[in-house]
Structure 1
Amino acid sequence: MHRIGGMSTCWETKKDKKVNKETAFIKNGSKLLEKLVDICDGKCNSIRSFSATELKKATNNYDPQKILTGDSGYKLYKGFLQGRPVSVKKFKDDDEQYEYCFNDIVYASKMSVHKSFMKLLGCCLEARIPILVFEYVGDWTLSDFLWGSEEARCQPLLWIPRSKIAMDMANAVAFLHAAFSKPIVFRNIKPLNILLDDNHEAKLSDFSISISIPKGESHVRDSVAGATGLIAPEYLTTGNFNEKQDVFNFGVFLLVLLSGQMVVDFSRPEKEILLQDHVKKCIEDDRFNKVIDSTIIAEGTWPGKEQQLQAYTALSLRCISELAEDRPTMIDVSKELRKIYWSAISCRQQ
């Protein structure tokens, strides 16, 4: 704010903008270092620095037409840097998203070695809340293919591509649980956070609410975070959870992928509003086909397909067991889904 002859104006000088950018850069750099020490013991892959000006230009001033996906706290834009497509993630301007943003930077920077995570290229620390730059995967999310635009849904997801997406996402989550001294709980596995390329290769994104289990501990305690229907009973009631929260979340995700239905749907009977309750009721009433997306049914049958669908559903239900100890590990889930996928491939080729 400036005063001219007793009148206030809201414009900023170039000098003011430069000072604001420098202040944000110093504050955000300090916060990033703090997070790196906390989560990664100060070690991570290199993170490239981008300027606010080049990201604004890359996205045509964050043109709404360039939005790829978004959630309550962010929007992901398609942009171009040096002639190459990228994905630019801009968070909502509030204190909660400030914390989530740094989570996303630090955890994503650790995942570049794994093919099933969207790769972080760098970030801009000049904005009040840093802006993230990821690789460009494609124009659509899994959510788009299931429920989105006509253009996306005209490319139907058949059983084999769906089983591969399930296998790849299970591998990714198992990696989070097993590859680090402090296991990472993702807490947000849903179609909106999975981007697909033209060959339906899937990449998981958005570490905003991910958390590490401290060394020497079996659980972590935190306020309840995540979408309705994806939160395990023990986490919901006690605030304590571990990797089995992700297993529960993944079980629900598997049912979404199989059925093509929303996790929460108020058009279903009252006791079946949650997808897991709807699936259990259909199976109990011997209406298994009502669980399966019509696209999967319409592609026809072949030897072994029914058994694959049954095994997949049984695995999903084990994942959402009421007791955490009754759920499999994500490594076991990954192994079972690999068997189902390769069975589908070999049977289809006969």
Structure 2
Amino acid sequence: MALCTGQTSLFMCNSKNREKADRKAFLMRNGKMFLERLISSCNGNYNPIRSFSAKELERATNNYHYRNIITESSIFRLCQGVLPDRTISVMKFIDGSVFDAYDCCFNNIVFASQMSHNNVLRLIGCCLEVEIPVLVFESAEYGNLHDLLKRSYQSHSEPLLLKHRLKIAMEIANVFAYLHIGFSRPIVFRDLKSSYILVSERYVPKLFNFSLSASIPEGETYIDDGVKGTSGIVAPEYACTGYLNEKCDVYSFGLLLLQLLSTGEDLFNMGLRLNGDESFEMDFVKKYIENRGFNGIVDPRIIGDELLEHKLQSSFELAFQCQSASAEDRPTMIDVAKQIKKMYKSF
């Protein structure tokens, strides 16, 4: 019995030593990668972030319990967590496609640590002692825009008013203008989705997930690193050439604006169901409005008078401009932000 107990103790001791060695190895590797990425991408400008231990974050999230999930994708989960002094949101990348998750994780660290904008989810720290670092953001105890739009169209839910939709659009447009002109090298977000925007009860949007973002090299006008992103939302010229620049974000924003103005049903799926082909959302929506007006596209509870219909028309026209097939015909995000601000202020 004593021998068995001794063997068990030895096994536990060896396991703890291996775990300690793994943590040290991960910390060294991730710390090296962290510094290299910051030096190459941030030009010395980034916000200091705090270091967290793996056990600290496991306790805060109840071991990343599913009930604490705020939103998730195929590559990460964003969970609510509670520390002794504050609430947090924790971004844990999903094991499986380790290479992709690892690269996406460091992209988030590098770009999120540079952000200083009220409508970007603020990075406050990370845990480097695990194979794929875990990121810690400010508290985000609210859902994403995609789910909010879905709920708002349900008959028993309170409708999301046009002024609130334009407020969200205006503030996200401001974020993208900030990404494009607020840094020495423009940052292209690349993969804009409504599920990557968190929205508070007061309709304050927070952009997060810089997994596929990239900086345009100094002296260049585009990035050439292959086509990445979600099918159906990437700009046509980027899909054909792999050349990425700010106008690709404008195109994706146009689709987001269409979604904000719609019933909450996914426009791409709606187009497939009615047209039977994979036509661009813009073409589908244009034809639909020409034939049927806003009925069926816009929640009828937010249409009340001619003034609102005029604002809707202006908003849709701006979305169509953003989704022009030619990048040269699209406005800049600064122009987009100014136009939406003018519409919103007119309320």
- TM-score surpassing 0.5? yes
Stretch of structure 1 that moved more, 220-229 or 96-105: 220-229
Q: For 1:104, which of 94, 99, 108 is the aligned residue?
A: 108
Would you say the 8 A contact 1:186–1:211 is kept in 2? yes
What code does the residue aligned with 2:46 have?
A: C
What code does the residue aligned with 2:61 have?
A: T
Stretch of structure 1 that moved more, 248-257 or 261-270: 261-270
Mapped pair 1:249 → 2:260: no
Would you say the 8 A contact 2:303–2:309 is kept in 1? no
Instruction: Trace 1:1-350 onto structure 2 (pairs within 5 A).
Output: 13-93=15-95, 94-111=98-115, 113-147=116-150, 154-259=157-262, 260-265=264-269, 266-271=272-277, 274-285=280-291, 287-290=292-295, 292-294=297-299, 297-302=300-305, 304-343=307-346, 345=347
Looking at structure 2, the residues matched to 224 and 154 of structure 1 have their Cα atoms a distance apart, in angstroms, of 39
Q: Cα distance, 1:271 vs. partner?
A: 3.6
Specify whether residues 309 and 226 from structure 1 end up closer, same or farther in structure 2 by C-alpha distance, changes over 3 A only.
same
SS of 1:65 mapped into structure 2: helix
Specify whether residues 292 and 12 from structure 1 end up closer, same or farther in structure 2 by C-alpha distance, changes over 3 A only.
farther
Looking at structure 2, the residues matched to 206 and 332 of structure 1 have their Cα atoms a distance apart, in angstroms, of 24
Looking at structure 2, the residues matched to 277 and 270 of structure 1 have their Cα atoms a distance apart, in angstroms, of 13
SS of 1:110 mapped into structure 2: coil
Identity percentage over the alignment?
Answer: 44
Give TM-score, length-normalised by structure 2: 0.91
Partner of residue 348, structure 1: none
Stretch of structure 1 that moved more, 33-42 or 237-246: 33-42
Q: Cα distance, 1:150 vs. partner?
A: 10
Looking at structure 2, the residues matched to 336 and 153 of structure 1 have their Cα atoms a distance apart, in angstroms, of 33
Q: What stretches of structure 1 of length at least 5 have no aligned partner? A: 346-350
Give TM-score, length-normalised by structure 1: 0.90
CA deviation vs aligned residue, 1:88-123 (integer Å, no higher than 9, x gap)? 000012111100100001101111x21010010100
Q: What stretches of structure 2 of length at least 5 have no aligned partner? A: 1-5
Looking at structure 1, the residues matched to 154 and 92 of structure 2 have their Cα atoms a distance apart, in angstroms, of 25
Total equivalences in the alignment:
334
SS of 1:123 mapped into structure 2: strand
